[in-house]
A and B are shown apart, each in its own frame.
Chain A
């Protein structure tokens, strides 16, 4: 480890040493003497050399060393134009697609009807972890969207003073709820890790059309490939928003202005995609499919629902139960 660290430090030093000096070469006059007039440091040349102009300053604030960063205008363009348009298209588009899906497929019913018998799908702690993440996600989503869309949607409705109060509260709530979300995400990732590993049955599930063909039920274990995708994408997006969010939560702690801008861009883009993903997840877990919500509601699902959507898991579960009951009955 120590050797690695040394090599790393050496490499960094080398890179720093080889970095082109911002100093303009001193221009010499015809007589060979330095010509101060021609050696003048021009703003234009400095901006051609790098994205920012930095210098020395007496106050101990690293941010103040940056004299100029024209990239602020690019970030402004991203935030005000690209993010607002792109975000609106992605989120409203997802809602539109889900509405179309509902119109075409309708609510996917339990084909065999309810059996009246239930089987435990999610334990209490699993449900707690899910809802901790879910509630904090919704809170974070709404308070986060307010930063980008609030002044377009909410401000004209409630006026500047009330909107400012709402946004101030939203900012504080967003900052603190983030920790609940990160904890929930961690729990979910750990609890459902094993059952979300890709399995052979996933290929079969895709081959049989997954959940997209109405009267056909593809085989699946505890989680089908669709759910596994939600799991892995949520993990990726969750880590993305959490890391970038932590950088934003502790501004300029080891980051410079360009990195802060990048952190905000990553945070916003990943969050918009995450919202779209979770909209789909909410749809299929509520109005999209009969019998699905109970899994996270009471934890108990109807046996017929389980047979249609998670046949392999149900078989395994029933086998386990049978084994447990025979083990519990004393031998005669």
Chain B
């Protein structure tokens, strides 16, 4: 069984934000929800790198562990999905997430949050809606995965910096790149997300 992962090759990312835009468009997420974002480190200085980040679909996902209503779970492909029917918007998954992935629409007073929204790996939702249905799309966004496609952010990345797919395969691709060009800033987030880096 494949284990789906994301890998951002920061040495290739040009901070074009097309991944973030593609994600918004494909999933028609509401204003203020950013399932994917690009963060630039050392902007304008030597060693500058941009990293595209979204839910990494962690192994032993901390968000799933802390969820007080157990609405977050991994699928058999290692994709971390959640049910918006069960979510109570407590915000704990955001505290636990190492990557700032969970997003909340603002509803009501104080800091009260609506149902959590995050990257679904373009694999629909974790609720009871039928896969590929209108209801599923409206709640969770696209279900490309059910059609045998990978997440759109990675599919349309112009420099092929952002890779999605089976963890072993994308790790192999990254390794070959690093060997060929002679340097690499690492598979960002992999140690934290999957308890393993990519040794070259």
Q: Measuring CB to CB, which residues of chain A are less than 8 angstroms from any residue of chain B?
A: 22-24, 26, 34, 36-44, 46, 53-59, 61, 63-73, 75-76, 79-80, 146-148, 150-151, 155, 160-161, 163-164, 167-168, 171-172, 175, 248-253, 257, 260-261, 264
B194 within 8 A of A: no
Nearest B residue (CB) for A58:
B17
Alpha-carbon distance A261/B191, docked complex (angstroms)? 21
Alpha-carbon distance A147/B183, docked complex (angstroms)? 46
Alpha-carbon distance A168/B89, docked complex (angstroms)? 8
Q: Is the CB of A40 within 8 A of B185?
A: yes
A73 to chain B, nearest CB (A): 5
B90 within 8 A of A: yes
Chain B residues with CB under 8 A of A147: 68, 90, 92
B38 to chain A, nearest CB (A): 7
B69 within 8 A of A: yes
Q: Is the CB of A69 within 8 A of B70?
A: no
B116 to chain A, nearest CB (A): 13
B100 within 8 A of A: yes
**Which of B38, B49, B90 contacts A171, CB < 8 Å?**
B90
Alpha-carbon distance A30/B61, docked complex (angstroms)? 45
Which of B41, B45, B51, B91 has the largest count of A CB atoms less than 10 A from its CB? B41
Alpha-carbon distance A322/B185, docked complex (angstroms)? 86
Q: Is the CB of A164 within 8 A of B183?
A: no
Cross-chain pairs A/B with CB under 8 angstroms, 11 sampled: A40-B11, A40-B47, A40-B183, A42-B185, A53-B41, A55-B41, A59-B37, A68-B188, A72-B96, A167-B68, A167-B90
B171 to chain A, nearest CB (A): 15
Q: Is the CB of B46 within 8 A of A72?
A: no
Chain B residues with CB under 8 A of A175: 110, 112
Q: Is the CB of B39 within 8 A of A264?
A: no
Q: Is the CB of B49 within 8 A of A40?
A: yes
Q: Is the CB of A264 within 8 A of B37?
A: no
Which of B11, B91, B110 has the largest count of A CB atoms less than 10 A from its CB? B110
Alpha-carbon distance A36/B46, docked complex (angstroms)? 8
Chain B residues with CB under 8 A of A58: 17
A68 to chain B, nearest CB (A): 6
Alpha-carbon distance A253/B41, docked complex (angstroms)? 24
Alpha-carbon distance A215/B92, docked complex (angstroms)? 51
Nearest A residue (CB) for B51:
A67
Q: Is the CB of B46 within 8 A of A56?
A: no
Per-residue CB contact flags for chain B residues 112-151 toward chain A (1 = under 8 Å, else 0) read: 1000000000000000000000000000000000000000
Q: Is the CB of B70 within 8 A of A72?
A: no
B18 within 8 A of A: no
Alpha-carbon distance A55/B39, docked complex (angstroms)? 6
Q: Is the CB of B186 within 8 A of A43?
A: yes
Per-residue CB contact flags for chain B residues 68-89 toward chain A (1 = under 8 Å, else 0) read: 1111000000000000011111
Alpha-carbon distance A167/B85, docked complex (angstroms)? 12
Chain B residues with CB under 8 A of A69: 98-100
Q: Is the CB of A79 within 8 A of B91?
A: no
B62 within 8 A of A: yes
Chain B residues with CB under 8 A of A56: 39-41, 43
Chain A residues with CB under 8 A of B34: 59, 61, 64
A282 to chain B, nearest CB (A): 26
Chain A residues with CB under 8 A of B87: 164
Chain B residues with CB under 8 A of A46: 41
Take A68-B99, A148-B68, A151-B69 as given contacts and tell me if A164 and B88 are in contact as well, using a CB distance cutoff of 8 Å.
yes
B111 within 8 A of A: yes
**Which of A63, A73, A251 contacts B111, CB < 8 Å?**
A251
Alpha-carbon distance A43/B65, docked complex (angstroms)? 25
